[in-house]
Amino acid sequence: MPPGLETLPAELFLRVLEQLTDKHDLSALSLVSKKWHGLVVQALWKSISIQPRSDYSPYRLIIAHLPRDRLQFLQKLHFRPKTEPEKCTHARDDRLPLWENELSEGESEIVDWDSTLDGSVYGLDERFRFLNLADRAVRVLDKLRDGQLSAFSWELGTCIPSQVLGPRGIVPCKHPLLRSLSLTTPQCHAPEAETREIDLSSFVELRSLRWIGPHPAHLRTLSAALGRNSARLQHLELYFDSWREFRNPLRHWTTGIDDELQRLCASRLFGLTAQFPQPILFPAISTLSLTGVPLTAAVAQALGFNTLWSLTIRECPGWREFLVWVVEAGLSVRLKAFEICDRDGQDPDSGL
């Protein structure tokens, strides 16, 4: 061991460990002494990713070998696919077998295992698949202390079980002080998908929010989350799969002209007011990435360009109006990274 390493305070040593990304290096360091072994264990279990056995069966989460004495160190929990997210379990005709020991006790009682030859079920109904997914996720979350998590991710590409993130979900109820939340949800058209609530109202300390593929039914939920955390948000990433999906429900509230629909959606999403100029909604924002999100001059007014250093705009209707206002307002822009992608393939410089 290098001279003096033993004298480092534990907190400082843990910061050093955060810079080591190779788990082999961490494992080797854990063999140096009993003291550092305990600290390395803390570092290794600070963040974990729960993955499915296969991306073709996202409901089969691997949750074995998660001892409670290790989970006590967990701060960041991620549910992620092995590669790219597959379709939601509601949208699949899954012919892979599900074994009896992969279901919870309640689910196993529903399935007639005696009718199978090998103790497995083929073409399992989506209801059982989703129950299995929810059950496994909750079993992991149940092992954690209240308030233990600082970061949570659901990026499996499936609908999020209400037991996890619904109004009475275990995450909002037990971990309201999350600082980072990342969601990837599908454009699932199953009847029950639209009514499956996502509740973000408990989270009031978010510094980072990422939501890929929100459903139009989630617009109010997303808007409320932005409003409650606007003063603290430093990183925001929103990815709307289809502006058309959001546009159609809004036709009941306006004449149906695209420009008016864009303004209405942007106003509801960001909680804009009739006040001019708009009050700064995100005074601490540093990175902003928007895809398919309608933009207006009022949105540009509401951003904190004094703190923003990275801006990404991809295929956002109204982006020209947004940028024209920034240029004409003569704002002090401190961007170090700027990316823009136009949906109609025109030169982004045109119209500016």
Q: What is the DSSP string of 44-77?
A: HTSEEEE-EEETTEEEEE---S--HHHHTT--EE
Angle of helix 23-30 versus helix 34-44 axis, rounded to 10: 150
Whether residue 121 has pLDDT greater than 70: no
The predicted model gives 104-122 an average pLDDT of: 43
CATH 1.20.1280 in the chain is located at 7-44
The predicted model gives 128-157 an average pLDDT of: 92
Cα distance from N-terminal residue to C-terminal residue, the chain:
60
pLDDT at position 108 is 46
Q: Are 101 and 176 in contact (CB under 8 A)?
A: no
Whether residue 325 has pLDDT greater than 70: yes
CB within 8 Å of 7: residues ≥ 6 apart: none
Topology (CATH level 3) of domain 7-44: Monooxygenase (1.20.1280)
The predicted model gives 263-274 an average pLDDT of: 87
pLDDT at position 13 is 65
Secondary structure of 145-188 as H, E, C letters:
CCCCCCEEEECCCCCCCHHHHCCCCHHHHHCCCCCEEEEECCCC
Q: Tell me the HSE value of 69 on the side-chain side, using a 13 A CA sphere.
A: 2
The predicted model gives 168-178 an average pLDDT of: 97
pLDDT at position 85 is 56
Whether residue 39 has pLDDT greater than 80: no
Whether residue 122 has pLDDT greater than 50: no
Most confident of 114-118, 211-215, 239-243: 211-215
The predicted model gives 150-155 an average pLDDT of: 97
Assigned token pair, 64:
């074995």
Say which DSSP state 280 is in. Answer: P
Assigned token pair, 147:
């308030």
Among 11-20, 85-94, 132-141, 206-215, which stretch is predicted with the lowest mean pLDDT? 85-94
Rounded-to-integer distance, Cα 100 and Cα 342, Å:
50
The sign of the dihedral angle between the CA atoms of 76, 81, 85, 87 is: negative
Q: Are 186 and 213 in contact (CB under 8 A)?
A: yes
The sign of the dihedral angle between the CA atoms of 128, 130, 131, 133 is: positive
CATH architecture type of domain 47-90+138-341: Alpha-Beta Horseshoe (3.80)
CATH 3.80.10 in the chain is located at 47-90+138-341
Among 90-94, 110-114, 284-288, which stretch is predicted with the lowest mean pLDDT? 110-114
CB within 8 Å of 19: residues ≥ 6 apart: none
pLDDT at position 239 is 96
Q: What is the mean pLDDT of the chain?
A: 79
The predicted model gives 46-69 an average pLDDT of: 83
Among 36-45, 235-244, 297-306, which stretch is predicted with the lowest mean pLDDT? 36-45
pLDDT at position 199 is 94
pLDDT at position 48 is 92
Polymer length in residues for the chain: 352
For residue 64, name the pLDDT band (cuts at 50, 70, 90): confident
Q: Are 92 and 123 in contact (CB under 8 A)?
A: no
Rounded-to-integer distance, Cα 115 and Cα 235, Å:
52
Whether residue 326 has pLDDT greater than 50: yes
Say which DSSP state 313 is in. Answer: E
Higher-confidence residue of 111 and 217: namely 217
For residue 171, name the pLDDT band (cuts at 50, 70, 90): very high
pLDDT at position 151 is 98
Among 60-64, 159-163, 172-176, 318-322, which stretch is predicted with the lowest mean pLDDT? 60-64
